[in-house]
Amino acid sequence: MKSKSVIDFFMQKRGWSEVKDLLLSWYLTPYLAKVFSVAKNFYFIDGFSGPGLFDDGKKGSPEIENDLIKKAYESTNNSTVKYSLICVEKNKILFDRLTNNLKENKNVKCINDDIELLLPNLIQNLEKNSFVFIYLDPFGINGLPSNLITLCNARKDLKIELLINFNSSGCYRECMRLLGNTAYNDFFDENEYLSDKNSSHERMNCLLGTKKWTDVAGDAKAEYLLSQYFSDNLRKAFKYVLNMPIRNIKNDMVKYRMIFCSNNIDGALLMADNMLRRSNNAKNSLFSLDIEGNIVDVTKEVETILDFVPNTNENPIRLNQLILSFYEKKGVVCSPKDLIDYLKMKERNNEIVVIRYPERSAKGKFTTFWSESNKKTVKILKKIGI
């Protein structure tokens, strides 16, 4: 079957594209409110913008981002904050449509370029301490910047967060193509995949941060392994990397993965919490999947959080760090509240030690809070033998 072009993709907005944009919207609403209250400069970079509007009239990511950013800006009391939405689109036909759709917005800059080539210059010229959100939603893995780690590490002074649509099954196919293995072509939907013409062994090594991808042919967990290589590579620049699989309801296989990266623990928790609290609104539930893409019993998964709690003869772990450690290893399978409720029960049963600061309230009573802030900490230890 002949592959469709990237232009054909924007004829109609499909259900899974709706899910991706919902995830973006859910996070951006509280994120932007917080950023605009403290930031001097904010930049949103959409690396694969498309035309802004689908042929069926539905909004694409640039229109959604622009609406949310303008709403947050109009609601803030921070009169000094400056912002810019930078929409990058390589395809000239789509770029012309994008420019026309967003031409009335003075804080939007549309650029006809390859994001991989453009991003180094963009990042290099941003003001110190700027807040930066980068959204990368490529068609397949075509054009996905392989230099992200180097760029982000070079600008530690920036507060960068990433949301990436990683087409892990497409990555698998690309790996097989590079290895000269064509046995897996029928495994993929050509309508949702665009081969990376610039792909090479060296580029794949850089993108995944390892040469281990050459050994995944025929492995039942190939898709998961490639997503883990990609996530582990991102951890070289970010403290927190959440890997969220989304299944194809037609063949019950993982369709793609939303990868979120941040150096801010509150941002990582916000991403997990906002998606999970609203997951019932999504047509395709991704939150009953573990990090390998398997459907799991959430109740049983919650119980495994104790595996991440140190014993009493070790250093205690902070509550927020514990929750994120769980998410990074097990997947975003439940809400922070589910995990905290389970820990509360274990505290009542005297199975864990909870160290709170402050230990006592202003009235002299022992504190019982289960949340952390600049003035409150919760540290946890597991009693030996539990």
Residues ≥6 apart with Cβ < 8 Å to 310? 316, 317, 381, 382
Fold of 6-281: Rossmann fold (3.40.50)
Q: Quote the tokens at residue 11.
A: 């004829």
Domain 6-281 matches domain 298-382 at the CATH topology level: no
Tell me, yes or no, if the pTM score tops 0.95: no
Domain borders along the chain are 6-281, 298-382
Q: Tell the residue number behind the tokens 């920036």, with chain if given.
A: 158
Least confident of 42-56, 177-191, 320-334: 177-191
Q: Quote the tokens at residue 139.
A: 């068609």
Sheet of 377-382: strands edge to edge? 317-318, 377-382, 352-357
100 has pLDDT over 50: yes
Average pLDDT, the chain: 87
Q: Give the Cα separation of 238 and 272 in Å (integer).
A: 16
Contact 356, 376 (CB under 8 A): yes
Give the three-class secondary structure for 86.
strand
Question: Which tens digits make up the pLDDT trace of 117-134?
Answer: 999 999 999 999 999 999
Phi and psi at residue 221, to the nearest 5°: -105, 25
Question: Which tens digits make up the pLDDT trace of 204-229?
Answer: 999 999 999 999 887 888 999 999 99
Strand intervals (E) in 180-252:
240-248
Q: Quote the tokens at residue 152.
A: 């982000």
**Residue 166, H or E segment:** strand 159-166
The residue-averaged pLDDT of 305-331 equals 92
Q: Quote the tokens at residue 241.
A: 């990397």
Q: Quote the tokens at residue 32.
A: 């932007």
Q: Which residues pair with 165 in a beta bridge?
A: 258
| CATH number belonging to the domain at 298-382, selected among 1.10.1060, 1.10.10, 3.30.1560, 1.20.120 | 1.10.10
Q: Give the Cα separation of 21 and 29 in Å (integer).
A: 12
